[in-house]
Amino acid sequence: MNHRTCCFVAVTLAAALAHAENWPQWRGPFLNGSTTETNLPTKFDETENVAWTTPLSIPGSCGATPIVWGDRIFLPSVDASTADLLALCLDLKTGKVLWKNKTGKDRPGSRNNMASPSAVTDGKTVWFFYGTASLFAFDFEGKELWSRDLEKDHGHNALMFGYSSSPLLYQGKLYVVAIRNKQQHAYRTAPESKEVSESYLLAIDPATGKDLWKHARETDAVAEAQESYSTAIPREVNVGGVSPRREILVYGADYMTAHDPATGKELWRWGGYNPTKIFHWRTVPSPLVADDIVIAVGPKFSTLFALRPKGEGRLGEESVAWRFEKRTPDASTPLFYKGRLYFLDDDRRIMTCVDPKTGEQKWQGELPGRAVIRASITGADGKLYIISEVREVTVLAAGDEFKILHTTKLGATGRAFTRSSIVAAHGRLLIRTGENLYCFTAAEK
């Protein structure tokens, strides 16, 4: 990965260089699933290389990934006994819960809860966002700075499996994307909301919570294909030899679109992954930027597309650099790490490594275990970390050879599913399950 591409996707260029050891957003400091973190454990379980284990005391299926800055961990959750949505802050060194704030009520949904989006931080403020479209800003001591109800202002988030896109913090703005169903359905869980809700990309002032602009994202997708669970991702591209152009990528509802971060204006649109308008092709994985390539994962194990979008307006086949059609993801977002692209057939547990420039396959291998995987891959310290829904952890060597370094299964007594991605920060691995938050460290030499 070149230096420019690595650095632009963090909150600022300086922040990326100075705080690469933090994990400030859902896909890490570079928003591609990787980190420069080193000295991480290869082997670990509930007795080996475990620094601490914190029972969440509120077991339930978990989708939100822990967010780390300095000695603080931020984690959205749900109290299953009261249905309270929670904003948690834990101490990275000890696992102690430093503060816990109530942020509304959960909604019953299919497979997910309303604490599925991950938080985001700039090192001073942390923003928690929920599937209810409630958005909260807290300082690091847990004091509420402001809050918003985006459904009240911008309509109900109607998605079959519950809204779960994470907010994006980029270049001094907070971005929220809602790609949702504009038709009336039984899973519309706000009965008082009868209006047809357009999809949108929204820019918010992080300091005040006020809207800066809103772009209505149009689509001709039908039925469930209107829905997306992906997160907006930034991109930088050189256009005509002038200063690099910054874009916000939004994926779903039959299109990949790029938007001006300053205004929301749509710069280009590509719609090659669902040309026949299959009605149930919702999208789950987020876009991925790999140097000059944009990765778009087609729905339900279809085709993975590598795009080189250079123009404006409606783009076509000329933007497709290569495609991969076997053992592609349904839910797991691919990883770009040390010049290689990694992706996962998350039902069949098949991992693939390719050259992102050409699509050449380097290897393909089957992970141990039996359960499906919904978490995304993490790349750190020359290793790949992945966890299944039933807490089966696999550690692979990063590189041009399929090599399993370690496997383990973390214990539990309940049936809560694990969908949170593994986090690497400050020499530690954080693994969230439905019942616990685990912290692992490498053995001292």
Mean pLDDT, residues 417-431: 95
Average pLDDT, the chain: 90
Place of tokens 């991925």: 288
Classify residue 131 by its DSSP letter: T
- 364 pLDDT tier (thresholds 50, 70, 90): very high
pLDDT value for 295: 98
Range with lowest mean pLDDT among 92-106, 138-152, 179-193, 220-234: 179-193
pLDDT value for 287: 98
Q: Are 380 and 396 in contact (CB under 8 A)?
A: no
> Per CATH, is 3-441 categorized as 2.140.10.10?
yes
Both tokens of 149, joined, read 């109800």
- 59 pLDDT tier (thresholds 50, 70, 90): low
pTM for this one? 0.92
Range with lowest mean pLDDT among 7-16, 296-305, 322-331, 380-389: 7-16
Residue spans per domain, the chain: 3-441
In one letter, which amino acid is 152?
K
Mean pLDDT, residues 406-433: 90
pLDDT value for 20: 43
Q: Which residues contact 234 (CB under 8 A, 6 or more apart)?
A: 8, 9, 31, 168, 170, 171, 246, 247, 248, 249, 261, 289
d(CA 32, CA 16): 13
Q: How would you label 52-61 residue by residue, b for 16+ Cβ within 10 Å and e otherwise?
A: bbbebebbbb
Helices (H) and strands (E) in the chain, counts: 3, 33
Compute φ and ψ for 280, nearest 5 degrees: -105, 15
